């Protein structure tokens, strides 16, 4: 195991990683911006290094500053978490060439799965169904031909996109002509890669992702699926495991294909292979995310597998303990954000009153404490409230109970707690009939 790990992140995922380090007997190094000087992850880490001003581009995205912190602290590994530099192949390469272990996939693998077109080619090779669309990047004329063949509506996607970014839905030929060049320009500005491809827009699908762990020996362990269909503008808000829409036969089929896919690309570490599932239960490959997901706790709650610790163990060269994973009960995660529950506009402020829920089957991942000032510069995630139940109905009831207990109040600070209550109380969610367009329908 490593001697000292630098956590190249902030917020609740940094706190989560520091706790994993502590339990593994590894020293942790926190990095922080000037805005995060009093953050919880800085207080909990064994050491801390300031890496720059509040702006992410000058701190958490500043590779030279992070590498300087790693060298000064003597860290022998870097844990990236999610977001920021977690899936940046150049960062992974720089870390590795510095003689420090990057806790995640290789730079080559990150580069591959960051290219949606190449990743789809691999998925097709191992027999995973793809959404009908262009075979690769296309120009406007090619996009028009593909759309005419598969029928509208279609989706324009940036080849280098991810995390719900670089997506435009097009309803007809007129819109395609109007939006295509805009999509290309957005892709170039956002990702430095203007390639765009076209896919059939599947109406009211479910978003299903499969959690994997893979070691350096080619062993791949699938920990089951999560459903992430409650989302707004492609950003997830509620996640659960397992999905009530996936039966055991289909689960095993997809898990087998996921194993072949990971072996084909030589994957190492934790990751998720993501699918859309249509109303008839057909699965279509979307992408692979080469990092830990925000929603990983729901899988941990039903399997007992510590995904973050295993990321570190795999990077240190440990072999996975293979065997069929036992899954028990149902878990639901609610992302509590600093935002207006009706408009979803960001709402930072100072935490003046904080009461976190507890009791059986409840987990809270957060970086909040009373008196903490939520900065306006970063993601609005305040806490992840995760509940478990022997049945899905018990998990929902427990979720409603903890929402009643949760108190996060402060000057200028609002949260989306009421939004989550509305979701859990809705008939569509309780009956498992929700889909990725559910939030927009609910907000009308």
Handedness of CA 205, 183, 142, 288 (dihedral sign): negative
Q: Is the peptide bond before 242 cis (omega within 30 degrees of 0)?
A: yes
Residue of 10, 27, 291, 327 with catalytic role: 291
Residue 232 designated active-site: no
CB neighbours (10 Å) of residue 308?
23
Task: Give the pairing of strands 27-33 and 4-7.
Answer: parallel
Spatial CB neighbours of 365, under 8 Å, sequence gap ≥ 6: 12, 15, 16, 297, 383, 384, 386
What angle is formed at CA 148 by the lines to CA 147 and CA 151, rounded to 5 degrees?
70
Q: Please give the torsion angle defined by the CA atoms of residues 115, 180, 344 and 203, in that order, rounded to the nearest 10 degrees.
A: -80
Q: How far apart are the first and last CA of the chain?
A: 52
* Secondary structure (3-state) at 285: strand
Q: Are 313 and 215 in contact (CB under 8 A)?
A: no
Tally of residues, the chain: 444
Task: Give the pairing of strands 220-232 and 206-214.
Answer: antiparallel
* Secondary structure (3-state) at 71: helix
Handedness of CA 52, 55, 57, 61 (dihedral sign): positive
Distance of CA 444 to the CA centre of its chain: 27
Spatial CB neighbours of 6, under 8 Å, sequence gap ≥ 6: 28, 29, 31, 66, 69, 70, 73, 75, 77, 78, 79
Spatial CB neighbours of 257, under 8 Å, sequence gap ≥ 6: 126, 127, 128
Nearest-CA neighbor of 53 among 71, 30, 36, 74?
36
* Torsional class of 166: left (φ above 0), alpha (ψ -120 to 50), beta (otherwise): left
Separation CA 381–CA 65 (nearest Å): 24
Question: Which residues are known to be catalytic?
Answer: 291
């Amino acid at each position: 195991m490593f001697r000292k790990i630098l956590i190249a992140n902030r917020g609740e995922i940094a706190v989560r990683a520091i706790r994993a380090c502590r339990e593994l007997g590894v020293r942790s190094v926190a990095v922080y911006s000037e805005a995060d000087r009093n953050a919880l992850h800085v207080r909990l880490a064994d050491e801390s290094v300031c890496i720059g001003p509040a702006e992410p581009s000058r701190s958490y995205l500043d590779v030279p500053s992070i590498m300087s912190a790693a060298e000064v602290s003597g860290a022998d590994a870097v844990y990236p978490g999610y977001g920021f530099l977690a899936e940046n192949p150049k960062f992974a390469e720089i870390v590795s060439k510095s003689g420090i272990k990057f806790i995640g996939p290789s730079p080559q693998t990150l580069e591959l799965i960051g290219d949606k077109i190449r990743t789809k080619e691999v998925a097709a090779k191992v027999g995973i169904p793809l959404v009908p669309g262009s075979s690769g990047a296309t120009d406007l004329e090619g996009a028009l031909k593909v759309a005419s063949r598969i029928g509208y509506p279609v989706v324009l996607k940036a080849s280098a996109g991810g995390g719900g970014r670089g997506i435009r839905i097009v309803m007809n030929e007129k819109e395609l002509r109007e939006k295509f060049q805009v999509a290309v320009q957005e892709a170039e500005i956002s990702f430095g890669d203007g390639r765009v491809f076209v896919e059939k827009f599947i109406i009211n699908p479910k978003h299903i992702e499969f959690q994997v762990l893979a070691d350096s020996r080619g062993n791949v362990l699938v920990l089951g699926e999560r459903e992430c269909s409650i989302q707004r503008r492609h950003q997830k808000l509620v996640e659960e495991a397992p999905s009530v829409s996936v039966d055991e036969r289909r689960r095993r089929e997809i898990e087998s294909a996921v194993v072949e896919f990971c072996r084909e690309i030589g994957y190492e570490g934790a990751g998720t292979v993501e699918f859309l599932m249509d109303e008839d239960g057909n699965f279509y490959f979307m992408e692979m995310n080469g990092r830990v997901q925000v929603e990983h706790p729901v899988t941990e709650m039903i399997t007992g597998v510590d995904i973050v610790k295993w990321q570190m163990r795999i990077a240190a060269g440990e072999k996975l303990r293979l065997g069929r994973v036992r899954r028990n009960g149902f878990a639901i995660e609610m992302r509590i954000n600093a935002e207006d529950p009706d408009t979803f506009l960001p709402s930072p402020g100072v935490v003046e009153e904080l009461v976190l829920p507890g009791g059986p089957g409840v987990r809270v991942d957060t970086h909040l404490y009373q008196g903490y000032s939520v900065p306006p510069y970063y993601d609005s995630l305040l806490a992840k409230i995760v509940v478990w139940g022997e049945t899905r109905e018990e998990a929902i009831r427990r979720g409603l109970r903890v929402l009643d207990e949760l108190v996060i109040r402060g000057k200028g600070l609002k949260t989306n707690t009421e939004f989550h209550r509305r979701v859990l109380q809705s008939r569509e969610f309780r009956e498992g009939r929700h889909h990725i367009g559910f939030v927009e329908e609910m907000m009308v």
